[in-house]
Amino acid sequence: MQNTKKIPETKKVQGGCGQACSAKRYAASRSREAALIERCRKGSKEAFGAIVDKYMKDAYFIALGLVGNHEDALDLSQEAFFRAYNNIRSLNTKWGFFPWFYQILRNLCFSHLRKRKVRQSHSLEQLTEDEAVVFAGDCPSPDAPTEQMEMQRQVWQAVNHLDDKHREVIVLRHFRNMSYEQIAKALFCNKGTVTSRLYYARKELKEILERQKGGRLQ
Amino acid sequence: MTCRQYKDLMMGYLDDELDEAQRKEFDRHIESCPQCQAEFEQFKKLKSLTDSVKLAEPEDIIWEKYWSGVYNRFERGIGWIMMSVTGIALIIYGLFKAVETLIKDPNVEVILKIAILAFITGIAILFVSIMRERLYYWKKDRYKDVKR
């Protein structure tokens, strides 16, 4: 099964009342979330369980995109929820749960990556990407699977070679399908900064891929 | 608008984030600018390649057990706190009793008793000094009330 789930707020309303309904649903969802957060602040683990249920896939896949390893992604995303619960009083409900939670998750992931780099430089280990994280989609011809998977592997390796700031926007945009507005909220910056970061991230990604292939993208 | 400004529109165009007027404006620009057009084609190929990479969905059991993984941390957290607090209290009590025994023992030399008391006083001064420094910097921290 492919990972096509989006963050709940991104779901576009098909037909019907359009933007007005979408805004109403968003407001209702925010108000439900605010009520859950209030219960969490009073110590309700059940309410926090509902929040975990809502965001666990996003947390896991973002961590997977950032650290590239299933076990680490699972452990880091669960640790981020644990820390979020312990610090829930410092959450400003005006921003919503996810952008605040995302800051905890990304800091954990980047700190984990820094420690891993130090360990690897000390032990002379090579960086290994967990290839099982890349999933091949539908293949149009019998020759295509290997070719397609090889291409996907190269792209995944290139993403892993991006610096943290650039990998982050690529993961949020491509692997979580978040809109510029949602990325801006998660990164506490404006949409212009997101656009600019995406431009430089893609430029860097293109250069890495061209170096790997020894020529321009075909 | 300069080509640099059109590059921001280029990202929005690729990700379907532009309104109709902005799309038309960008279309007009790349028709007249071969460099931006070439760069746009390259980015389009790159986007299609990146979009083809999907992260594998783990087995359902992972999602079913996800909450218990978080919940276990709460239990362990409580365990760690209880163990640490009681551990520290027991160590302090043990040290206090040991020092008390030494001080009360008439067979122990006075110089050794003075040395032990000086050592404990030194630790106490260091502790108070560090705590006072921490408190001072915490009060001066302009960002301590910043909440996200």
For A202, the closest of B46, B58, B70 (CB atoms) is: B46
Q: State the pTM of this model.
A: 0.75
Query: Distance between CA atoms of A60 and A66, rounded to whole angstroms?
Result: 10
Whether residues B46 and A81 touch (CB distance < 8 A) is answered with no
Query: Distance between CA atoms of A33 and A28, rounded to whole angstroms?
Result: 9
Tell which residue, A173, A175, A174, has the closest CA to residue A184: A173
For B46, the closest of A64, A92, A205 (CB atoms) is: A205
* Full residue range of the structural domain in which residue B114 is found: 109-148
The pLDDT of residue A141 is 52
Q: Is a pLDDT exceeding 60 seen at residue A137?
A: no
Chain A contact for B51 (CB, 8 A cutoff): yes
CA dist A78 → A107, A116, B67 (Å):
14, 19, 8
Whether B63 and B94 share a structural domain: yes
Can you tell me which residue has the tokens 């619960």?
A: A85
Burial class (CB in 10 A: 0-12, 13-18, 19+), B23: middle
**Quick one: closest CA in A to B147, which residue?**
A90
Could you read off the pLDDT of B33-57 as tens digits, one per residue? 898 999 999 999 999 989 888 888 8
Domain A140-218 class? mainly alpha
Q: Is a pLDDT exceeding 50 seen at residue A198?
A: yes
Query: Distance between CA atoms of A182 and A174, rounded to whole angstroms?
Result: 13
Q: Which residues contact A89 (CB under 8 A, 6 or more apart)?
A: A41
Instruction: Give the count of domains, chain B.
Output: 3
Whether residues B55 and A188 touch (CB distance < 8 A) is answered with no
The pLDDT of residue A27 is 77
Whether B137 and B117 share a structural domain: yes
The pLDDT of residue A51 is 94
Q: What is the band of A125 on the pLDDT scale with cuts at 50, 70, 90?
A: very low
Query: Distance between CA atoms of A13 and A57, rounded to whole angstroms?
Result: 21
Can you tell me which residue has the tokens 């880091």?
A: A76
The pLDDT of residue A13 is 39
Whether B45 and B65 share a structural domain: no
**Quick one: closest CA in A to B8, which residue?**
A195
Which of A55-59, B102-106, B128-132 comes out lowest in average pLDDT? B102-106
Chain A contact for B63 (CB, 8 A cutoff): yes
Can you tell me which residue has the tokens 């893609």?
A: A202
SS3 A135: strand
Whether B96 and B126 share a structural domain: no
For B8, the closest of A74, A159, A196 (CB atoms) is: A196
Whether residues B71 and A45 touch (CB distance < 8 A) is answered with yes
How many residues are recorded in chain B? 148
Q: Is a pLDDT exceeding 50 seen at residue A147?
A: yes
For B53, the closest of A132, A156, A198 (CB atoms) is: A156
What angle separates helix B3-14 from helix B20-32, to the nearest 10 degrees? 130
Query: Distance between CA atoms of A73 and A64, rounded to whole angstroms?
Result: 5
Whether B79 and B92 share a structural domain: yes
Q: Is a pLDDT exceeding 90 seen at residue A143?
A: no
In this structure, the number of other CB atoms found within 10 A of the CB of residue B30 comes to: 19
Q: What is the band of A78 on the pLDDT scale with cuts at 50, 70, 90?
A: very high
Q: Which residues contact A175 (CB under 8 A, 6 or more apart)?
A: A3, A61, A62, A64, A65, B53, B54, B55
Query: Distance between CA atoms of A209 and A118, rounded to whole angstroms?
Result: 26
Q: Is the ipTM of this complex over 0.85?
A: no
Q: A88: which 2 tokens?
A: 């829930």
List helix spans (H) across chain A: 19-41, 45-67, 70-86, 97-123, 144-161, 164-170, 180-187, 191-213
**Mean predicted lDDT score pLDDT of chain B:** 89
The pLDDT of residue A154 is 87
